[in-house]
Structure 1
Amino acid sequence: MNIKNILLVSPMYRELQALIEKEAPHKSFRFMPEKELSQDDLSWADALVSFNLKTEYDYSTVKWVHSLGAGVDRFLHKKDWSQEVLLTRTICSFGQRISEYCLSYILKDLQLHDRFQEQQRQKIWVQSTPKLIREQKVLVYGTGEIGQRIAEVFSGLGVNVYGVSLGGKEKAGFTKVMTLDTHFSVLNEMNYVINTLPLTDKTEKLFDDAIFSGLSNAGFINVGRGASVDDNALLQALTTNKIRFAILDVFEQEPLADSNPLWDHPRVQITPHISAITTPSEGAACFLKTLKNIDDNRLLANKVNTNKGY
C-alpha cells in the first residue's frame, strides 16, 4: 500500500504535528481540527488519522483510516465500510490505565472510604472492617487486550476474575471465560462487573434487565461504550439493589445531557470518558509504528476486523 498524503484531524493536532512530522519527512501531512475538515481534504488524502469525528464523512476515498483511540465504533457501527479501506486502531497503555481506574474504585469501595468520610464529617468514631480484595469475584465483559490486562492486574492480587466473550475462549488471568449465552448462572456470585466491550450490533443495549436482574448487590463499572447499557434498566437495577453502585465513564451521548437522571443519582459516579485517554506521545508512537509497518508490508497487530467491529 502506497501512503503518501496523510490527513490528521484531532483536537490535539498541534501536539501531534510536533511529534509526527519530523519522524516522517518523506510524507505529506495536513494537520487540523475537525471544524476545518472538508471532503476535499479527504479526497486529497491517502490516509486519515482521527477519532470520534462528529460529522459523517465518506471514508471510501482513502486507503487507510487509523483511529487515535482503541474504539472504532464511530467509524463502523451501523455504517457501510468499504472492504478496500484498511482500518487500524491505537494500542498503547489503555489496558493499564483502565485497570488502574477500575481498581481505584473497587478499593475505595472495599476500604469503606465514603463511610469513613461521612463519619469524619459527623465526628463519629465507629470502627468497621474493610474487605479484602482477594475475597472478591469480578466479572469482566470483554477478554481482548484491555480485558486481559484487567484480569492480569486483578488476578495478581488474588481476585477470581471471570470473563465473558463472544467465543468463550479461555484466556490467561481468567478463572473461567464464558459466552453471552452461558454466563447467566454466575451473575449472582459476582461482587463487581466491569464492561470493556466494543460497541457492535451484538453489544448494543447488552446490559439490560436480563443481565442486571441476575446480579445481587454488585458494583458496576462501564469503561466500554455507553450504548452497551440500557440506562433505564440500570436505574431500575439501582432502585432494586441489583446494582449497589455504578461507575460510568462512557455514555451513549457525550457530553451527558444536563437532564439525564444519572447526574443526580446518589449511587452513580460519573467521569468524563477519561479512563483511557490517548496522550499525544502515545498516539503519535502507535501511528508512526503502524505507518512503518504498512510501508514495510509487515503484519499489523492493530488491524481491525471491520466485519466484527473490533
Structure 2
Amino acid sequence: MINVLFAAHPDRWASYETPLKQAIANAGVEANLATDIPPADVDYIVYAPNSPLQDFTPYTRAKAVLNLWAGVEKIVGNETLKIPLTRMVDPGLSQGMCEWVTGHTLRHHLGMDAHINCAPGVWKNVPPPLAWDRKVTVLGLGELGTACAQMLALAGFDVTGWSRSPKNLDGIRCLSGEEGLTKALTGAEIVVLLLPDTPATENTLNAETLALLARGACIINPGRGPLIDDDALLAALDTGQVGHATLDVFRVEPLPEAHPYWHHPRVTVTPHVAAETRPKYSALTIAENIRRGEAGAPFLHLVDRSAGY
C-alpha cells in the first residue's frame, strides 16, 4: 500500500476525501490517503500552493507533487521541490472555462448590456453583427486556451489564437512570437487572455498593445492578473480605446474595495470563478497520475520548470 498525503489547504479536505479515495481505488491502486502521514513515509503529495506545506525537503520518498490548481506560478520556484510537479488539467476545468469565456464573449458581441440596462421606452432596433464578422483573439493556446478558441470558432467567431511557440489548430488562425502578437491584436474586437503568469507574459496588454485593438474593443481576462498593465487598461477605458473589460483575476485577490476596477462603469469584476477545480473531476486526474507513477509510466501534465508552467 502506498501513502498519499493530502496537503492542499485544510478546508478542502472534506470535499476531496471521498472523490479522491474512490478515484484512486477505481484506478486499481491500493492507497492510504490522509492529511497526517509522516514525511518520510509519503509516496505522493496532493497539493495546492496555498497549503501550509512549503518545505518539501523531508519528503525523501515522494515520487511527485500533484497540484490541484492549473496555475503553478506560486510553487514552480520553490527551491526545496526536487521531484516532478504536475499541474491540474481536467475536463471539468476546461468545460467551466469554456462556458464562462463563451458567455462573456457573447454578452459583448450581442451588446446585451445595452438592452439589460436600457431605460423604459428606449427602442433601438439595431441588430448585432454575426459572429462570422466578429474578430476574437485568444492569447494563450494551452489546454484552456485551445478549448476556448475551439468553442468560439464552433460558435462562428473569426478566431485568432496566439502562443509563444507555434501551434496549429483547425479552423483557427494561429500566430506566435512577438511579430505574431502584433498581428493577433491588430484590429481585434474581443481579446481573451489565457496565458500563464511568467516574467515573459507580465503586462502583455499594455499601452502599446492596447492601442493595436479596434477602438471600443472588449477585454476578457480569466487567465492571470499580471497579464494586464492595470494603469494602461484604465487609461484605455477612459479614452474609449477599450469599450469594456470583464476581469476575473487580479494581482491582489480578493480585489480591494478601493480598487478603481470596482468603481469603473465599463469594468465587470467577477470573483475568480471562471474555472474552478471541481473534486469530482480533478480527482480522476490525480488518480491517473498516481496509477502512472506506480506503473512506471510518464506523468501527465508535467510542469516545465524552465518555462514556469
- TM-score where L is the length of structure 2: 0.88
Structure 1 unaligned blocks of 5 or more: 33-39
Query: Counterpart of 1:195 in structure 2: which amino acid?
Result: L
User: Aligned Cα RMSD in Å?
Assistant: 2.3
Partner amino acid for 2:161?
G
2:34 pairs, out of 27, 30, 37, with: 30
- When structure 1 is superposed on structure 2, of 57-66 and 209-218 the one drifting more is 57-66
- Count of residue pairs the alignment pairs up: 299
1:290 corresponding residue in structure 2: 289
Matched, 1:53 2:50: yes
3-state SS of 2:105 partner:
helix
Determine the structure 2 residue equivalent to 1:156: 154
- Residue 303 of structure 1 corresponds to which residue in structure 2? 302
Q: Matched residues in 2 for 1:303 and 1:3: separation?
A: 21
Q: Which moved more, 1:146-155 or 1:53-62?
A: 53-62
Where structure 2 has 5 or more consecutive residues not aligned to the other structure, the ranges are none
SS state at 1:253 partner: coil
Question: In the TM superposition, what whole-angstrom CA distance separates every residue of 1:83-107 from its partner, at most 9, and x where no partner exists?
Answer: 7311011111222322221111121
Preserved CA contact (<8 Å) 2:207 2:232: yes
- Which residue number corresponds to residue 35 of structure 1? none
Cα distance in 2, alignment partners of residues 43 and 74 from structure 1: 24
Q: Say whether the 8 Å CA contact 2:187–2:212 is kept in structure 1.
A: no
Give 2:120's match in structure 1, choosing from 111, 119, 122: 122
| Alignment partner, residue 132 of structure 1 | 130
CA distance in 1, matches of 2:4, 2:180: 48
| TM superposition score normalised by structure 1 | 0.88
Higher relative contact order (CA 8 A, sep 6+): 2
Is the deviation greater in 2-11 or in 279-288? Answer: 2-11
**Amino acid aligned to 1:113:** M
Letter in 1 for 2:186: N
Compared CA separation, residues 209 and 56, structure 1 to 2 (3 A):
farther
After superposition, what is the alpha-carbon deviation per residue over 1:115-150, rounded to whole angstroms, capped at 9, x for unaligned? 12233x423233121221121111111111111111
- Aligned ranges 1:58-69 → 2 under 5 Å: 58-62=55-59, 63=62, 64-69=64-69
Letter in 2 for 1:90: M
Superposed CA deviations along residues 185-212 of structure 1, whole A, max 9, x for unmatched, are: 4423111111101111211222222211
Post-superposition CA distance 1:251-297 (Å, at most 9, x none): 11111111111011111111111111011101211111111111111
Q: Is the 8 A contact 2:175 2:184 kept in 1?
A: no
Partners of 2:308 and 2:58 lie apart in 1 by 20
- Counterparts of 1:42-191 in structure 2 under 5 Å? 45-53=42-50, 57-62=54-59, 63=62, 64-76=64-76, 79-81=77-79, 84-93=82-91, 94-119=93-118, 121-191=119-189
CA–CA distance in structure 1, aligned partners of residues 7 and 81 of structure 2: 21
Q: Distance in 1 between matches of 2:39 and 2:171?
A: 43
In the alignment, the residues of structure 2 paired with residue 188 and residue 241 of structure 1 have an alpha-carbon distance, to the nearest angstrom, of 16
Letter in 2 for 1:270: V
Range 53-62 or range 232-241, more displaced: 53-62
Question: Which residue of structure 2 lines up, in the alignment, with residue 247 of structure 1?
Answer: 246
Matched-pair contact (CA < 8 Å) for 1:213–1:242: yes
* Deviating 4+ runs (over 6 angstroms): none
Task: Verify: 1:257 aligned to 2:256, yes or no.
Answer: yes
Change (3 A) 1:250 1:3: farther
Q: In 1, are the aligned partners of 2:160 and 2:184 still within 8 Å (CA)?
A: no
